[in-house]
Structure 1
Amino acid sequence: MRLNESGKPGSTTRDALRAVAEELFAEHGIDGVTTRALAERAGANMAAVNYHYGNKDNLTMAVFRDVARRTVQRRLDNLARIEARAEREGRAPGLREVVEAFVDAYVNHDSPRTGVLLAHLVLQHRVRSTEWTEAIVREELDDFARRYVGVLRRAVPHLDESEVHWRYHLMVGAVMMGVSGHGSNARLRRLSNGLCAPEDRDEFREQLIAFLVASFGPGPATDKDIDGRPAIPDGSHQKNRARTRTQPRTEET
């Protein structure tokens, strides 16, 4: 029996189309699914997509808007539990538990497909933004992101506000690559000579959380070597050093 997005039996062609769209988008990505494939998997004709949703883009938007809302609610529930526990214990939220609240929406056992779908949405928006990805990210995800960064700032008081925003932005990128990187997973296995098993979701989750927690470590990141010079000078730094060597030194006054 086909299940719709709420986990209940789908009683209409509209429900079936939406359910199979989730399945196929998770398996093949957004661009890897045709209208014909959607219709065939749902046991309908191609005209059914246009009849019920207008076109494939509208169906895609409906699927990913629902995915965004489900994952946001899950993360909000996680944050609420974390904040309540921290308040009872008279402390700020812990960094690891705040990171876990974010990762849990992408890597979990009870709804693994939802995390993959959300990763596809965010990657699509970052790589090739469209009107519908912009609408979903702005309307469904931005408010949560602000809420999450607010809690995250309390967990990392050693970082200033701009650093937290930067690291949150990069954290999202790391999670997206890890969750959706089928090709990079194969490369990880190859480079590690089989030591790393990307399909072990528990190990992947633990490694991802450890990496993200470390990225918010104490003190601002530095690009200085032990002698105070940049560890890897960029072009502008080299030009400045060359200019300094050619100009006479001016004594301090």
Structure 2
Amino acid sequence: MNKKMDARLPRDRVLEVAARLFAEQGIDAVSVRDITGAAGVNLGTINYHFGSKENLIHEVFETLLAPLQERRLALLDQIEAQAGDGPLDLELVLRAIVEPTIRSSIGQEGAVVYLPRLMFQVYAVARPFLGEKNSELNDRVAKRFIDAISRAAPGVPYEQVCWRYYMVVGGFLQLVSDALGSNRLHRLSDGCCDTGDPNRVIEELITFFMQGMTAPAGSLRQDAFNNPGREAFLEALASPF
């Protein structure tokens, strides 16, 4: 254990170590003993400060997620205040979604860098006790941003905005998780894509999301209908493997 961690209170050490282990190994794979051993505290520490592993998981997510969501909402409040009764700037709204996560994760230290990988686990595996808590923290913020995007892109149907908002969130979580984990994009691009550069990551994401968010609804599907090879392709897709 390093001196920096030694100087922290046992509760804080447990939270930071738990976030790291959950992100690296998976929430279900990490035991209380794993956490206390890595944090250098006794087994009773988790029960004393959190009561149970489930409560510790709640605390990890709330500790990491709440400040990030507050930052996003503060940025959105500023964008709305500047716009007054006029239209919102779509690029600024998307930046308010994306930039806080990128800036707090890539090239930084501390437990918050593990949040994207933890969020992927929430989406991938159903855990009722965690899903309910996660919804409390996220749904209010998500609906604020969906409404803001609708105001910034009035020509896009609300249903499409909802679909695309979810794709935005999934896209940047995937990229940040890759940058903090396997760096697969860096390998696939033969080193051309530097996922360790937060500024480049942000600009690539915003450029992509701006185009996707404002694309005409259904335009790609209409192109597919006009493709003579479409029926044969769909038949092949429907065939059992």
Alignment TM-score > 0.5, same fold: yes
Q: Does 1:103 align with 2:98?
A: yes
Deviates more, 1:217-226 or 1:91-100: 217-226
**Other-structure match for 2:130:** 133
Alignment of 1:116-127 (within 5 A): 116-127=113-124
* Partner SS state of residue 108, structure 1: helix
* One-letter amino acid matched to 2:65: A
Q: Per the alignment, in what secondary structure is the counterpart of residue 222 of structure 2?
A: coil
Structure 1's 55 and 230: CA in aligned 2 closer, same or farther, altered over 3 A? farther
Contact 1:95 1:156 in 2 (8 A): yes
Matches for 1:44-63 after TM superposition, within 5 Å = 44-63=41-60
Aligned to 2:88: 93
Which residue in the other structure is 1:195 paired with?
Answer: 192
Counterparts of 1:1-253 in structure 2, within 5 Å, are 10-11=8-9, 13-26=10-23, 28-31=25-28, 33-87=30-84, 91-109=86-104, 112=108, 116-182=113-179, 186-222=183-219, 223-225=221-223, 229-230=226-227, 233=230
Change (3 A) 1:102 1:135: same
Letter matched to residue 147 of structure 2: G
The structural deviation recorded for 1:166 is: 0.8
**TM-score, normalising length from structure 1?**
0.77
User: 1:146-203 deviations in whole A, cap 9, x for unaligned?
Assistant: 1111111011111011010111111111122111125986332233222112222221
**More moved, 73-82 vs 216-225:** 216-225
SS of aligned partner of 1:45: coil
- The TM-score, its normalising length taken from structure 2, stands at 0.81
In the alignment of these two chains, the number of paired residues is: 230
8 Å CA contact 1:95, 1:155 repeated in 2: yes
Unaligned 5+ segments in structure 2 are: 236-241
Aligned CA-pair RMSD:
3.1
Equivalent pair of 1:120/1:180 in contact (CA under 8 Å): yes
Q: Deviations over 1:111-160 (max 9, x none)?
A: 95566443234312221020232122221111111111111101111101
Deviation, structure 1 residue 46: 2.2
Kindly provide the CA deviation profile for residues 19-51 of structure 1, in whole angstroms up to 9, marking residues without a partner as x.
Answer: 332344455553564423321333212232233
Q: Secondary structure at the match of 2:223?
A: coil
Tell which deviates more after alignment, 28-37 or 141-150.
Answer: 28-37
**Over alpha carbons, which structure has the higher Rg?**
1
Q: Any idea what SS the aligned residue of 2:48 has?
A: helix
**Contact 2:185–2:195 under 8 Å retained in 1:** yes
Q: Distance in 2 between matches of 1:232 and 1:197?
A: 38
Which secondary structure does the structure 1 equivalent of 2:18 belong to? Answer: helix
- Please say if residues 16 and 111 of structure 2, whose CA atoms lie closer than 8 Å, have aligned partners that are also in contact: no
Conserved? CA contact 1:18–1:63, under 8 Å: yes
**Greater helix fraction, Structure 1 or Structure 2:** 2
* 2:193 counterpart SS class: coil
Q: Could you tell me the percent identity over the aligned residues?
A: 30
Contact 1:121 1:133 (8 Å CA) reproduced: no
The CA deviation at 1:206 is: 1.4
Contact 1:125 1:133 in 2 (8 A): yes
Q: Cα 1:109–1:120, aligned 2, differ >3 Å: closer, same or farther? A: closer
Change (3 A) 1:155 1:83: same
Query: Contact 1:107 / 1:115 at 8 angstroms: preserved in 2?
Result: no
